[in-house]
Amino acid sequence: MFITFEGLDGSGKSTQAELLRSRLEADGEDVVSTREPGGTELGEKIRDLVLHGGHVTPWAEALLYAAARAQHVDEVIAPALERGASVICDRYVDSSVAYQGVARGLGLERVLDLNLAAVGGLMPDRTFLLALDVVRLPERLRREPDRLERESGDFHARADAGYRELAARFPERIVVLDGALPAETIAEEVYGALRVRS
């Protein structure tokens, strides 16, 4: 099964990805846990260019994320799924659609199409979207912000709107969870939603 976590920075998605990984491993499952941008050598280089370099024009940003993702699917995600492992990925196609497609204004459809081409149509079986009040996010970021985190509150509000649009469009795949709840409560909901399905 292919599972992704999505949400704005500081929404707690990485914590949830980690909690789910240990829970599935405790159940005896073969789990591959990975993240975007990154997850491969090329992807980590791209991550550095996009997040810690100078100005990157919006289409270059969208194409770089898509390039990292194409490599990630080919090297890590598809082989793991083929051997029967569960893959947990912290961010995937929905991040690009929300951030580059909606927040940067490149267009939801165009960025979705670009990414579907990059990943050969491979979409998650389940996506958990941790939704949180945008005004509460800065207080949850504890370290130096990267290039995208330094964007204005409006940018993050638009990315949030993009995520909600995606959730409305793909209700079978995307489960929206209240990111303000305690981490253990959210983890129970995540695990429960996966058990119901299988």
- Give 181's contacts (C-beta < 8 A, 6+ positions apart): none
Residue pair 141/10 in contact by the 8 Å Cβ criterion: yes
By the rule CB under 6 A, 163 interacts with ligand TYD: no
By the rule CB under 6 A, 18 interacts with ligand TYD: no
Pick the binder of ligand TYD from 146, 165, 188, 189 (CB under 6 A). 146
By the rule CB under 6 A, 99 interacts with ligand TYD: yes
- Which pairs from 188-197 meet CB under 8 Å and 24+ separation? 190/16, 190/19, 190/20, 190/128, 191/20, 191/23, 193/126, 193/128, 194/1, 194/3, 194/20, 194/126, 197/125, 197/126
State which residue, 126 or 158, has the beta carbon closest to ligand TYD.
158
Residue pair 104/162 in contact by the 8 Å Cβ criterion: no
Q: How many residues bind ligand TYD, per CB under 6 A?
A: 15
Residue 184 CB, shortest distance to ligand TYD, in Å, is: 21
Pick the binder of ligand TYD from 2, 19, 32, 36 (CB under 6 A). 36
Of 174, 161, 49, 169, give the one whose Cα is nearest residue 103. Answer: 161
Position of minimal CB gap to ligand TYD:
99
By the rule CB under 6 A, 37 interacts with ligand TYD: yes
By the rule CB under 6 A, 156 interacts with ligand TYD: no
Residue 131 CB, shortest distance to ligand TYD, in Å, is: 15
Residue 148 CB, shortest distance to ligand TYD, in Å, is: 3
Residue pair 93/119 in contact by the 8 Å Cβ criterion: yes
Q: Can you give the binding site for ligand TYD, defined by CB under 6 A?
A: 9, 14, 35-37, 51, 65, 91, 95-96, 99-100, 146, 148-149
